[in-house]
Structure 1
Amino acid sequence: MSWKISNDLLSVKLMTRLKIYALFQYHCISIFTRDLQTKMLCQTKVAALLFLAVISPSFGDPVGDRQQEECKKMSTCASCITKSFCTWCVTKSKCTKQSCGNDNIIFPKEYSAIMAGPQFCPRVVEPEEMLTLKSGAKQIIEVKITQIHLYMAFTPWKCKIDYNGEQMTVVAMLLGDKVFCETVLLTNDSHEPSRSGSVSVLWDYSKSFDGSIPFKVCRCDLDPLCNACNKLTDA
């Protein structure tokens, strides 16, 4: 007769490890009372499971495991703290289940903490007007950001540009609360007056600020009223 632990026992959500141990013990005694050898084997395996529960923080906490995995899937500060059990680690630039250590921590808005809520997330500030660029002209893209921590200023900055189904990353410079992307040349080769793209900000090589700025690249021969066409001369 083989020993088998039912799946319903493994899916217990809110029991402590000792309660789980007691439940398994009861399972052994009640199910295998007619087979002493099998009962002893069952109890031996239960003791082993208790040992694993002590040395493994995740054992016996399936809810915590699922929450931790759910936090890890969040790639932005704002999305992270929509979950009451997640916190955003600013320096690490990642979402965890309240395991940021001595990092700067942003909590969900329900918490009584100094930095609680999405308003504390490092993020891009959307401009009041659509950013426009002139097709075929070299231009510097300027992005305003907020919630800049002092140590961020001493790391490398970059701009990630998504345009025409492609991505490019260019060197950037932080001055005050604005990031200036290295000169870029974007071309609208379509028959449309403009094509859309977006630019986001990276610090410390690959850590992202929340959000991005949309822009459009104008063909001045098809859209002479585009703001970019009025500001720039032909390159």
Structure 2
Amino acid sequence: MQCLFQFPTGDAVVSDPMPFDGSLKCATPPMNRLPRIPTNEYHLAAKLIVVSDGSKLPLATTNFSFYDCNRYTSCSTCSASQFPCDWCLESNECVAGKLTEDKCRKQHIVNGLNRDGSSIRKGPSKCPHIVAPVSKMSVATGERRNISVKVENVDPSFMGDFKCEFRYGTVTHEKIAMRTSDDTIT
């Protein structure tokens, strides 16, 4: 018997199955034998196929995904992921659920929707975020103006330093911001 991980690129990686409690256990290939996850993707689809020695006919087939939570760059996309990912609020990083305790040690966490974790925060609605204004904000070129935004899920017990980023094309400007009330940053 052999376990075969087949990828859409045509690549395939073989591993020998191990007997496990009356069934077979297929070990996932080491990272250096996997094709790279494509840019702007979060996972690599594969088919796991069990074949008999000397035969090319599959005995069993299932879909399989290799995923990378680190590719999510915001709390909302991380915690809404189809994979078991969690967002570490202080370090601003997305980690695989099994690594949360080590990677997010002593941090506040937003558990992903597809993860059973111990945080009181679960899913994208619990992420810190700007509440969309009723109307579009506009500022004339050359005009200086203070801008205030409404925010949700900003916890003052550990969130204190803020900045506003203004992006125009490829240019980014940063300005120090401050919390002016429980739900407003200026």
TM-score range, shorter chain: 0.5 to 0.7
Structure 1 residue aligned with 2:148:
142
Greater relative contact order structure (CA < 8 Å, 6+ sep): 1
Select the residue among 45, 65, 71 that pairs with 1:73.
71
Would you say the 8 A contact 1:87–1:108 is kept in 2?
yes
Structure 1 residue aligned with 2:95:
96
Structure 1 CA distance for aligned equivalents of residues 180 and 17 of structure 2 = 53
Residues 104, 9 of structure 1: alpha-carbon distance in 2 compared, 3 angstrom cutoff: same
Aligned length: 127
Structure 2 residue aligned with 1:163:
168
Would you say the 8 A contact 2:84–2:113 is kept in 1?
no
3-state SS in 1 of match to 2:157 = helix
Structure 1: gaps (5+ residues): 1-5, 18-29, 31-62, 181-235
Structure 1 residue aligned with 2:109:
105
Counterpart residue type for residue 139 of structure 1: R
Structure 1 CA distance for aligned equivalents of residues 87 and 153 of structure 2 = 13
Counterpart residue type for residue 91 of structure 1: E
Would you say the 8 A contact 1:122–1:146 is kept in 2?
yes
Counterpart residue type for residue 70 of structure 2: K
Would you say the 8 A contact 2:128–2:154 is kept in 1?
yes
TM-score, structure 2 normalization:
0.57
Select the residue among 105, 122, 130 that pairs with 1:124.
130
Structure 2: gaps (5+ residues): 1-11, 19-24, 29-52, 54-63
Query: How far does residue 79 in structure 1 lie from its aligned partner after superposition?
Result: 0.9
The structure carrying a bigger strand percent of its residues is: 2
Would you say the 8 A contact 2:85–2:114 is kept in 1?
no
* Structure 1, 118-127 or 77-86: larger mean CA deviation: 77-86
Query: How far does residue 163 in structure 1 lie from its aligned partner after superposition?
Result: 2.0
- Identity, in percent, stands at 21
* Structure 1 stretches of at least 4 aligned residues deviating more than 4 Å after TM superposition: 110-113
Q: Over the residues paired in the alignment, what is the CA RMSD in angstroms?
A: 3.2
Would you say the 8 A contact 1:89–1:103 is kept in 2?
yes
TM-score, structure 1 normalization:
0.46
* Deviation sequence 1:122-179 (CA, Å, 0-9, x none): 111110111121333221121221101123443x321111125411111111112211
Residues 84, 165 of structure 1: alpha-carbon distance in 2 compared, 3 angstrom cutoff: closer
